Protein backbone atom coordinates (compact mmCIF):
# COMPACT_ATOMS: atom_id res chain seq x y z
CA UNK A 1 0.00 0.00 0.00
CA UNK A 2 1.22 3.47 -0.88
CA UNK A 3 0.90 6.39 1.52
CA UNK A 4 0.13 8.68 -1.43
CA UNK A 5 -3.53 9.68 -1.53
CA UNK A 6 -5.35 9.31 -4.85
CA UNK A 7 -8.56 11.23 -5.53
CA UNK A 8 -11.63 9.60 -7.06
CA UNK A 9 -14.53 11.83 -8.11
CA UNK A 10 -18.19 10.99 -8.21
CA UNK A 11 -21.56 12.61 -8.44
CA UNK A 12 -25.16 12.46 -9.44
CA UNK A 13 -26.37 12.48 -13.07
CA UNK A 14 -27.42 16.12 -13.12
CA UNK A 15 -24.28 17.46 -11.42
CA UNK A 16 -26.03 19.01 -8.42
CA UNK A 17 -24.20 16.88 -5.83
CA UNK A 18 -20.81 15.19 -5.92
CA UNK A 19 -17.94 13.91 -3.84
CA UNK A 20 -14.19 13.50 -3.74
CA UNK A 21 -12.89 10.26 -2.21
CA UNK A 22 -9.23 10.33 -1.21
CA UNK A 23 -7.54 7.02 -0.44
CA UNK A 24 -4.09 5.47 -0.53
CA UNK A 25 -5.61 2.02 -1.10
CA UNK A 26 -5.31 0.56 -4.58
CA UNK A 27 -8.77 0.11 -6.11
CA UNK A 28 -8.28 -3.67 -6.09
CA UNK A 29 -8.00 -3.56 -2.27
CA UNK A 30 -11.16 -1.54 -1.60
CA UNK A 31 -13.73 -3.17 0.65
CA UNK A 32 -16.90 -2.91 -1.44
CA UNK A 33 -20.10 -3.84 0.34
CA UNK A 34 -23.64 -4.63 -0.79
CA UNK A 35 -25.74 -3.84 2.27
CA UNK A 36 -28.82 -6.05 2.40
CA UNK A 37 -31.22 -3.48 3.85
CA UNK A 38 -34.21 -2.53 1.73
CA UNK A 39 -32.89 0.96 0.96
CA UNK A 40 -29.50 -0.20 -0.34
CA UNK A 41 -30.95 -3.14 -2.26
CA UNK A 42 -33.53 -0.86 -3.92
CA UNK A 43 -30.74 1.53 -4.97
CA UNK A 44 -28.37 -1.28 -5.98
CA UNK A 45 -25.79 0.43 -3.75
CA UNK A 46 -22.18 -0.71 -3.60
CA UNK A 47 -20.45 1.24 -0.86
CA UNK A 48 -16.86 1.65 0.22
CA UNK A 49 -14.84 3.54 2.78
CA UNK A 50 -11.25 3.95 3.98
CA UNK A 51 -10.63 4.87 7.63
CA UNK A 52 -7.27 6.35 6.56
CA UNK A 53 -8.76 8.36 3.70
CA UNK A 54 -10.97 11.40 3.37
CA UNK A 55 -14.36 12.20 1.79
CA UNK A 56 -15.62 15.62 0.79
CA UNK A 57 -19.22 15.88 -0.40
CA UNK A 58 -19.88 18.85 -2.71
CA UNK A 59 -23.28 20.46 -3.03
CA UNK A 60 -23.62 22.69 -6.08
CA UNK A 61 -27.40 23.09 -5.78
CA UNK A 62 -28.54 23.10 -2.16
CA UNK A 63 -32.19 22.50 -3.05
CA UNK A 64 -31.21 19.21 -4.72
CA UNK A 65 -29.68 17.67 -1.57
CA UNK A 66 -32.07 15.16 0.00
CA UNK A 67 -31.15 13.67 3.38
CA UNK A 68 -32.87 10.46 4.36
CA UNK A 69 -32.78 8.67 7.72
CA UNK A 70 -34.30 5.28 8.42
CA UNK A 71 -33.88 2.29 10.70
CA UNK A 72 -31.90 3.36 13.77
CA UNK A 73 -31.78 6.98 12.46
CA UNK A 74 -28.01 7.24 13.00
CA UNK A 75 -26.86 8.48 9.58
CA UNK A 76 -27.96 10.80 6.79
CA UNK A 77 -28.16 9.03 3.43
CA UNK A 78 -27.51 11.59 0.71
CA UNK A 79 -29.54 11.59 -2.49
CA UNK A 80 -30.10 14.02 -5.30
CA UNK A 81 -33.68 15.27 -5.24
CA UNK A 82 -33.46 16.15 -8.95
CA UNK A 83 -32.11 12.92 -10.50
CA UNK A 84 -32.54 10.41 -7.65
CA UNK A 85 -28.95 9.17 -7.36
CA UNK A 86 -27.79 7.85 -3.96
CA UNK A 87 -24.25 9.19 -3.43
CA UNK A 88 -23.32 8.06 0.08
CA UNK A 89 -23.99 8.59 3.75
CA UNK A 90 -22.61 10.59 6.63
CA UNK A 91 -22.68 10.40 10.41
CA UNK A 92 -21.59 12.84 13.12
CA UNK A 93 -20.40 11.32 16.40
CA UNK A 94 -18.43 12.43 19.43
CA UNK A 95 -15.32 11.15 17.59
CA UNK A 96 -15.96 13.19 14.43
CA UNK A 97 -17.76 13.02 11.11
CA UNK A 98 -17.53 9.93 8.91
CA UNK A 99 -18.97 8.78 5.61
CA UNK A 100 -19.20 6.21 2.85
CA UNK A 101 -19.57 6.59 -0.90
CA UNK A 102 -21.66 4.63 -3.35
CA UNK A 103 -19.08 3.32 -5.83
CA UNK A 104 -21.74 3.29 -8.55
CA UNK A 105 -21.65 7.11 -8.47
CA UNK A 106 -17.92 7.22 -9.29
CA UNK A 107 -17.11 8.74 -12.68
CA UNK A 108 -15.35 7.14 -14.31
CA UNK A 109 -15.71 3.73 -12.75
CA UNK A 110 -12.20 2.69 -11.69
CA UNK A 111 -10.72 -0.42 -13.25
CA UNK A 112 -10.25 -3.35 -10.88
CA UNK A 113 -13.11 -2.48 -8.53
CA UNK A 114 -13.79 -5.63 -6.45
CA UNK A 115 -17.12 -7.42 -6.56
CA UNK A 116 -19.25 -6.34 -3.60
CA UNK A 117 -19.64 -8.67 -0.65
CA UNK A 118 -23.03 -8.93 1.03
CA UNK A 119 -23.28 -7.14 4.37
CA UNK A 120 -26.12 -7.42 6.84
CA UNK A 121 -26.20 -4.98 9.74
CA UNK A 122 -29.78 -5.70 10.83
CA UNK A 123 -28.81 -7.21 14.19
CA UNK A 124 -26.81 -4.15 15.34
CA UNK A 125 -28.13 -1.90 18.08
CA UNK A 126 -27.46 1.84 18.00
CA UNK A 127 -24.17 1.89 20.01
CA UNK A 128 -22.68 -0.97 17.97
CA UNK A 129 -23.74 0.57 14.66
CA UNK A 130 -22.16 3.91 15.56
CA UNK A 131 -18.96 2.19 16.81
CA UNK A 132 -18.65 0.18 13.56
CA UNK A 133 -19.10 3.29 11.48
CA UNK A 134 -16.48 5.17 13.52
CA UNK A 135 -14.03 2.29 12.90
CA UNK A 136 -14.78 1.53 9.24
CA UNK A 137 -16.11 4.69 7.61
CA UNK A 138 -13.97 7.44 6.11
CA UNK A 139 -13.39 10.74 7.93
CA UNK A 140 -15.29 13.62 6.32
CA UNK A 141 -13.79 16.95 5.43
CA UNK A 142 -17.09 18.44 6.71
CA UNK A 143 -20.73 17.53 7.03
CA UNK A 144 -23.11 18.66 4.30
* pLDDT tens-place string over residues 79-127: 999 999 999 999 999 999 999 999 999 999 999 999 999 999 999 999 9
E-state strands within the chain = 6-11, 17-23, 33-35, 47-48, 54-59, 65-68, 76-80, 86-93, 96-102, 117-119, 138-139
Q: Looking at the domain assignment, is residue 113 inside a domain?
A: yes
What pLDDT does residue 2 have?
Answer: 58
* pLDDT tens-place string over residues 37-90: 999 999 999 999 999 999 999 999 999 999 999 999 999 999 999 999 999 999
Range of the domain at 38: 6-139
Q: Looking at the domain assignment, is residue 144 inside a domain?
A: no
Q: Looking at the domain assignment, is residue 15 inside a domain?
A: yes
Q: Looking at the domain assignment, is residue 52 inside a domain?
A: yes
Q: Looking at the domain assignment, is residue 30 inside a domain?
A: yes
Q: Looking at the domain assignment, is residue 1 inside a domain?
A: no
Q: For residue 139, how many other CB atoms are within 10 A of its CB? A: 18
Q: Looking at the domain assignment, is residue 109 inside a domain?
A: yes
Spatial strand order of the sheet with 6-11 comes to 6-11, 17-23, 54-59
Overall domain count for the chain:
1
CATH (domain of 23) = 2.170.150.70
Amino acid sequence: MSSLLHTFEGGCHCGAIGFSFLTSLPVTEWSVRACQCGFCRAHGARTTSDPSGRIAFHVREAEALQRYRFGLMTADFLLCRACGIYLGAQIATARGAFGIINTLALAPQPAGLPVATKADYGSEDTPNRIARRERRWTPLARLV
